[in-house]
Amino acid sequence: MNIRDILASLSDGAMGIDEAERLLRLDYVQHIEGHTVFDHARQLRSGVPEVVYGLAKDPETVADIVQRAMERRELVIVSRITDQHHDAVLARIGSDNLRYERKARMLVVDRRESSETKGRVGIITAGTSDMAVAEEARVMLEAMGCECLCFHDVGVAGMHRFLEPMKKVLEQDVDALIVVAGMEGALPTLVSSLSPIPVIGVPVSTGYGIGGNGEAALYSMLQSCAPGLAVVNIDNGIGAASFAAMIARRR
């Protein structure tokens, strides 16, 4: 529910003033076990759900956050998790409405009765090794109500593979494109040069030797001579998905 939905519910009498005030408070935060301040109002302000970054947190801390946050929310997303994080959350809240997206390294607890589709986004990966980041973007996009069209392993090392996916995203009239690439990171430039659609490049930490942690792909995308290409940080599928979903909603 966004601010417009709250105001509409208030106007229609479906929601009382007290409930509307509670949902609209910009300082609506929750202090969790002395280690986390969870921002429940982020989605109301921006339309982007609060995402818990799990990688640097121990499993019990993540379980604390999910358990307590779900006392007030219908949706909680945790990124960059391990099997141990999932097991700790499962032990706390059970399996109902809990989804572990192993390829994306994400956990989603979604108790919403329904979610409105708000736009269509294409995701293209240069190689199979880039799929984990692409899956992170897909899970985030779907949580934000976007339909996803995904095409994998169509990089510039074999350009003929790219033509059919490009034709499909144009025919489907997607609102934005996320292009995920490691190595030299050339694919987003190629896509942007052929597309009237906003393109978001995601450099991936895939490659050999110098620049193999994604720096070469990042620099290549930032130096692109194709207009209409925006670039997020290395492996940042969450950031790319959030940006693409906001474009789709505005359109």
CATH 3.40.50.1970 describes domain 120-250: yes
Task: Kindly state the DSSP code that residue 223 receives in the 8-state scheme.
Answer: T
Range 17-45 average pLDDT: 67
Kindly list the distances between the CA atom of residue 35 and the CA atoms of 179, 194, 230, in Å, as whole numbers in the listed order: 36, 47, 34
Residue 27 has pLDDT above 60, yes or no: no
Handedness of CA 23, 25, 26, 29 (dihedral sign): negative
Amino acid (1-letter code) at residue 99: R
pLDDT reported for residue 132: 93
Give one DSSP letter per residue of 7-65, joined into a string.
HHHHHHTSS-HHHHHHHH-TT-EEEETTTEEEETTHHHHHS---EEE-TTS-HHHHHHH
Rg for the chain, CA atoms, rounded: 19
Which residues pair with residue 19 across a beta bridge? none
CA 47 to chain centre: 12
List of E strands, 69-204: 75-79, 98-101, 106-110, 120-125, 147-151, 176-181, 199-203
Q: What is the pLDDT of residues 63-114, one digit of tens each?
A: 988 888 887 778 889 999 999 999 999 998 888 889 999 999 999 988 887 7
Q: Are strands 120-125 and 176-181 parallel, antiparallel or unpaired?
A: parallel
Domain-by-domain residue ranges, the chain? 28-110, 120-250
Q: Are strands 36-39 and 51-53 parallel, antiparallel or unpaired?
A: unpaired
Q: What is the pLDDT of residues 156-193, one digit of tens each?
A: 877 778 888 888 888 888 999 999 999 888 999 999 98
Tokens of 104: 């994306």
Q: Percent of the chain, pLDDT > 90?
A: 42
Global pTM? 0.81
Q: What is the pLDDT of residues 127-159, one digit of tens each?
A: 898 999 999 999 999 999 899 999 998 888 777
Residue 11 has pLDDT above 70, yes or no: yes
CA distance 89 to 87: 5
Task: Using alpha carbons only, give the angle 133, 95, 86 rounded to the nearest 5 degrees.
Answer: 40
Range 16-45 average pLDDT: 67
Task: Using alpha carbons only, give the angle 20, 24, 29 rounded to the nearest 5 degrees.
Answer: 120
| Contact (Cβ atoms closer than 8 angstroms) between residue 19 and residue 64 | no
